[in-house]
Amino acid sequence: MKTQPLDLKELRVFPLAERKSLTRVEQVVVDPDSPAPRVSAEAALALDRCAAQVRAAKARGAAVIIIYGAHLLRNGAAAILERMMAAGLIDHLATNGAGSIPRRAIGEALHARFRAVYAQTAYQGPFAVDPASVGRRALRNACLAYLMAADEADGIALAQAQIAADTTMTESLTALALLVDTASPARDTALAAFHARFQDDALVIDKFFAVQAMSSAPDTLAPIDALTRHPDFDIRNPNRYRSLVSAFGYRNPLWFHDASGAGYDFVARMTLAADKVNRSVAARGMEVFADWKRYDPARQEKMRAALDRILAANDLSANTREMAERVRKG
């Protein structure tokens, strides 16, 4: 039987807050202590083989990683996952966007362990880029993210201390980004101190703008707009423009796609301003609107309005107009 390929342009994506779940956690969650259900002989063999491999990995001191998506949560296995982590059977989680849903629950359930691993992976010795050192920093930063999700006050204190320790830029930037995601006064204090220290380093100041552009804090839109008037923001500088405007459009879907349409308006306004001084940067920035047909009707309308506002500019460059028209057609 012949089938028609799926046209992704017809797919409508709604924010989580607007989606109606057909199930509730208490309806699907599986009790780890409940009797195991009957499975086929083939499935039982696969489970036995997997269990043997996990035991063998732990016996030789190797890490066990669970790679999962939303189906794991939809099938009610979150409690089983937490039990396995608490028992030391799983060392790491590799997940997509669905992993943000249970982060707080996992952080709370394994708070003591995350705390212990965070302390064990503290910086020691000279800076190194060997796999073990890179992995240690990544693990420490992951622990900090879970600790922040579980207990914001405790996480803020740890992030402040991590910045103050001034060990590596990787750890300082991660801690700063986590602070920027909060509405705590510690956020502004940390940003001011970071800027004061690195104000003469252009590449680091690019990151100063980028971590704020990607913030998920509840008051993100106004500060991002204010950053366009920051003394160190120069719209003529392509890297600086990308670190703020492009980072916001491409890497902050929460606020770029805010239902108010303010995120679209911001990018449209900045595109028009950039087009006067750097046409190639403005033209490439149009791609941020490329998937507008995949969103709900209200957001589609607001994105079209933003594109129409750009196209209505009489002095729009040929490059930017071409890109905007192509994106507008979908």
Cα 113 from Cα 305, distance rounded (Å) = 50
Q: Where are the domains of the chain?
A: 24-32+42-98, 102-184, 199-330
Instruction: Please state the rounded mean pLDDT for residues 102-129.
Output: 85
DSSP 21: P
Residue where the block lists tokens 């969650």: 29
For 125-179, what is each residue's pLDDT tens digit? 788 888 888 999 999 999 999 999 999 999 999 999 999 998 899 999 999 999 9
Which residues make beta-bridge pairs with 95? 68
- Residue 144, φ and ψ in degrees, nearest 5: -60, -40
DSSP 96: -
SS3 67: strand
For 272-316, what is each residue's pLDDT tens digit? 999 999 999 999 999 999 999 989 899 999 999 999 999 999 999
3-state helix, strand, coil in the chain (%, to 5): 65, 5, 30
Give 93's contacts (C-beta < 8 A, 6+ positions apart).
65, 66, 68, 81, 85, 99, 106
- Determine which helix (DSSP H) or strand (DSSP E) holds 95, and give its type and residue range: strand 92-95
Which fold is adopted by the domain 199-330?
Answer: Zincin-like fold (1.25.50)
